[in-house]
Amino acid sequence: MKLTNKKFLVLCGVVLTACVFLGFKRDTRNFEITKNLDIFNSVFRELDICYVDTIDPESSIEAGINYMLSKLDPYTVYYPESKDEELKMMTTGKFAGIGSIIRFHKGKNHVVIDAPYEGMAAHKAGLKPGDVLLEIDGEDLTGKTTEKVSELLRGEPGTSFLLKYERPGVAEPQTVKIVRENIQTPAVPYYGMYKGKTGYIVLSSFFEGCSRDVRRAFIDLKEKGATSLILDLRSNPGGLMNEAVDILSMFIPKGTEVVSTKGKLKQASSVSKTTKEPLDLEIPIAVLVNGNSASASEIVAGALQDLDRAVIVGERTYGKGLVQVIRELPYGGSLKVTTSKYYIPSGRCVQAINYQKRSSDGQAERIPDSLTHVFHTAGGRIVRDGGGVTPDIKPEEVKLPTMLFYLANDDVLFDYATDYCLKHPTIATPEKFEVSDEEYAEFKERVKKADFKYDRESEKALKALREIAKVEGYTEEAKAEFDALEKKLTHNLDRDLDHFSKEIKMLIADEIIQRYYFQRGTIIQQLKDDKDVEKAYSTLTDLAAYKKILAPADTVAVK
């Protein structure tokens, strides 16, 4: 009995010591926070009183906050009241403006209309790609950047302004009154049937309500006879987690856990299960992803993979396994803060970058494949964490020539499409439209006359190799070989325009079709030569191959 009492007293002493220690640790942390906030406050007040120039308190404090947050992760962001609209657009996809992509035209030194959204204010006002924006409510726009012009175009819904613009082929400038309206970019810019009985849905973002759009698209495709489905999440940056769960509910049994979160606070930890009756538990599905598929896209792709419900096709995804919430701050500000990590059904987290570990130059480090961990799908297939979602099928990588990137951003292509539209009031449907050899010959001449310049990767590599050879003392010894190779790699615009004619014709067609059929038309055009979609289609139409991919692999030793 005495021994038991002694043990009890010892235990009480240990617990008391632990409580005192934890209380001391907490008090110390609170003191450190209070001390440093007081120091920061004192430094700013001294600067405000003593500094030789007047300090703007808002921009200075905001800069301090942003620097502090830069030491965390890129998703934890401070939004002062002045950037409230930017935050709303990010979470809902909605903003008030004219509904058009704009670009700066170097030759005209003005911003021009690039691509109006179908049915939005710019389109309804009759604006077309190529229109040069001259004035907004009398304010001259000469030389103004796209960011500045964008600020002037946006505003409260229902407000209006007078836009003066110049249209190619029209002698006098035009003036039109435009009423700003709420703009929401479509979450599902296109869906349709692909080669017979395969449904195809493009989901560009996980904004509020996107699951409803996907549901409607899928039901429509089923009614048209779809017996398999391609869900395209390529370059989808993510968005709302609940929308991802609702999309998963369409194809997974009700009550299935699809994602969980774990954070420091209790309210940051949660388990999400499908809550709706599924639309189809059997239809074969292929999900397209790439290196820009992130966040909610990875939840959908990863959960479907973990539950052996779909085949994933494409490139390894971005690897964003962090969850953010919006916290309100005083004076109308907001803080988007990372509060947890998310985990998909196998138990893995796809986060690829460790922001707590940084190199000597301050760059956060990517988790190496050697440090990732093995998990298993519902059927026993091996999957890994720590680096995004690795696809089940990786189509052969298509490497586009550097020239295409320069052409896509050059005024010569944009102006050619503008002039083409002046000559052609209508064109064939996107499915049938093609750039003829005669039209391409005309485009080639315009490119050559425009003195189009672009960097060639081969020339860059040769230059770098020369530098290395010089450092290592091989310049004279290898001079003849270098000179011969340089002669072969000499910039030849005419040759490149012929060599890459197929790819350039597709690029021209993209630009022209967009003018007549908007984003939907461009997607249809690009489907004509989409290797990822073709690979997904061939897999879905070969049920034996599809089932083999989803079947558990033979048990092997994993190191």
Residues noted as catalytic: 295, 306, 320
By C-alpha distance, which of 496, 427, 429 is closest to 458? 496
β-bridge partners, 113: 102
Residue found by looking up tokens 């035009």 in the block? 174
By C-alpha distance, which of 521, 524, 515 is closest to 101? 515
How far is it, in rounded angstroms, from Cα 129 to Cα 132?
A: 9
How far is it, in rounded angstroms, from Cα 543 to Cα 354?
A: 39
How far is it, in rounded angstroms, from Cα 110 to Cα 29?
A: 55
β-bridge partners, 133: 165
Rg, Å, the chain Cα set:
29
Q: Label residue 204 exposed, middle or buried (CB < 10 Å: 0-12, 13-18, 19+).
A: buried
φ, ψ at 502 (rounded to 5°): -60, -50
How far is it, in rounded angstroms, from Cα 411 to Cα 421?
A: 15
How far is it, in rounded angstroms, from Cα 424 to Cα 500?
A: 25
Contact indicator for 249, 226 with CB cutoff of 8 Å: no
3-class DSSP state of 547: helix
Task: Tell me which amino acid residue 94 is.
Answer: K
Structure tokens, 540: 């879905």
